[in-house]
Amino acid sequence: MKRYAAFDPPEYRNWQPDGVLVREYRRRIEKDPERSGVVRQLTTDRLLDLYRDLLLTRLQDIGLKRWVRQGVISKAWLGVGEEAVTVGCVAALEPDRDVVIPMIRNAGAGHMMGLPLVHGFTSYLATADSPSAGRDFHYGDVAEGVIQPVSHMGTSVPVAAGAALAFKNRGEDRVALTWTGDGATRTAACHEGLVFASRLRVPVIIVIQDNQVALGTRVDQHGAGRPEDVPAAHGIAPLLCDGNNLLDVYAATTLARRQCVRGDGPTVVVAETFRMGGHATHDEREARETFAADLFEHWGRRDPVGLFESYLLEEGIAVETLAEVEAHATEAVEHAAEEALASRDDRPPPEHALYPGISEGGVLHGLAARLAVRG
Ligand SMILES: Cc1ncc(C[n+]2csc(CCOP(=O)(O)OP(=O)(O)O)c2C)c(N)n1
Ligand SMILES: [Mg+2]
C-alpha cells in the first residue's frame, strides 16, 4: 500500500495559523467559567492523547477514501471536519463504565473505547474476521461499551435511553451516550427516545451533531425549527457547543456527564459543525453544489484538527512533539489498513449469514459481562 507522503510544500513552510480564529477558539472556552475549569484540568499528556485521537480518526477516513479510489471498496461514509464532535465527547466519558452508540460519522468512538483500529477497515471488507463476520459494516462490541448501531436514523436515541434506564435502576454511576444528526432529530424514534429519557430522568447524553445537512437536504430545508430547539420540547435545556472546537465539546460533555451522574436526568449537547464532504464518497460533487463555496471555506478555516494544533502550539507544545504523535498515528492506521487487506479474500461462508438473532444471545457476546454491576 502507498505510504502517506509528508505534506510539506514550500509555500506552507512559513505559514502561521490565523490568530483571530485561534483567539476565538480560546475565548469560546474562557468565557464560561465552568467550561474553562474543566479544560484547565487537562494535562499536557492528556492534550496529546486528544490530538492523537483526532489524527487517528482523520487518518482512518483518509485510508478508507484511498481504498475507494483504489477500487478496494465501492464507497465510504466519512466524518472529515466533524472529528472533534466524536473525540471531545468520548474523551469526557469513563471508557470502562459508560456505553456509546456511534453513528456513521463517529468512527473515532470505536478506537477510543478500546476497539482495535483494524475493525474500522475489516468492517468495510466484510471479511470473516470483521466484527460482525461479514454481516454488517456497522460494528460495535458491547464488551467494550460500544453498542452496534443500526442504519435507521434516530433509533439509537431510545436504545441509549434504555441502557441508561438499566444503569439508573441498578444505581450505577454510568451514562450512555449517542449521537444523532440534525436530520435524525426529525424522526419519531428520536422524539420517542427523548420523551422516555426525560420522563424517566435517565442518565443519557444525546449529542445532536448538527452538520447542517441530511443526505442532500440542507438543514433549512428539512424542518421549520432549529435542531437546538428540539430538546426544549422535552423539557431539556441543551448545552450548546462549537463542534469544531475539541475543547468546547469536551467541556460541554464533561458537564453533561456530571449532570447525569448527579441524577439530574438526561442531557442534550448540541454541537454545530459542518459536513466537509458528501453523505458518502459517491456524492461529493453533489454535496459541493448543496452549499455556497464560501461556506466550505468558512468551515475549512475552522478545521478541528488544524485549530487544535494551533492551540497546542500556542500552549508551548513543540512542533516536533506534534510531529512525533502524527508519525505514530500514521503508522498505526497504515498498519491497521495493511492488516485488514491481508484477510481481504477471507470471505465468510454464505451459511454464516444465518444466525440465531439477538433474542437468543447470538450476537451479543459480552453483554452480560458489560452490564453486570461493577464494584
Ligand atoms: C429512518 C431512516 N430514514 C431514512 C434513512 C436514509 N438516510 C440515511 S442517512 C440519512 C441522512 C441523515 O442525516 P443526519 O441525521 O443529519 O446525519 P448525517 O448523515 O448528516 O451525519 C438518511 C435520510 C435512514 N437510514 N433511516
Ligand atoms: Mg446532518
Judged on CB neighbours under 10 Å (0-12, 13-18, 19+), 161 is buried
Q: What is the pLDDT of residue 135?
A: 81
Q: What is the pLDDT of residue 3?
A: 40
Q: How far apart are the first and last CA of the chain?
A: 46
Q: What is the pLDDT of residue 192?
A: 98
d(CA 149, CA 159): 9
| Cβ density class 71-105: b for 16+ within 10 Å, e for less | ebbebbbbbbbbbbbbbbbbbbbebeebbbbbbbb
Angle between helices 44-70 and 304-314 (to 10 degrees): 150
The answer, yes or no, to whether any atom of ligand 1 lies below 6 A from the CB of 208, is: no
Residue 344 contacts residue 125 (beta carbons within 8 Å) = yes
- The dotted CATH code for 18-346 is 3.40.50.970
209 Cα: distance to centroid of ligand 2 (angstroms): 7
Sequence letter at residue 200 = L
Angle between helices 19-30 and 246-261 (to 10 degrees): 10
Q: What is the pLDDT of residue 204?
A: 98
The phi and psi torsions of 43 (rounded to 5 degrees) equal -80, 170
The answer, yes or no, to whether any atom of ligand 1 lies below 6 A from the CB of 371, is: no
d(CA 11, CA 372): 56
User: What residues have a C-beta under 5 A from ligand 2, the ion?
Assistant: 181-183, 211, 214
**Nearest residue by C-alpha to atom 12 in ligand 1:** 214
Q: What is the pLDDT of residue 186?
A: 96
**For the chain, which ranges sit under pLDDT 70?**
1-17, 353-375
Residue 111 contacts residue 56 (beta carbons within 8 Å) = yes
Q: Which atom of ligand 1 is nearest to the CA of 103?
A: 21
Q: What is the pLDDT of residue 350?
A: 75
The answer, yes or no, to whether any atom of ligand 1 lies below 6 A from the CB of 146, is: no
The answer, yes or no, to whether any atom of ligand 1 lies below 6 A from the CB of 134, is: no
Q: What is the pLDDT of residue 317?
A: 96
Sketch the domain layout of the chain as residue ranges: 18-346
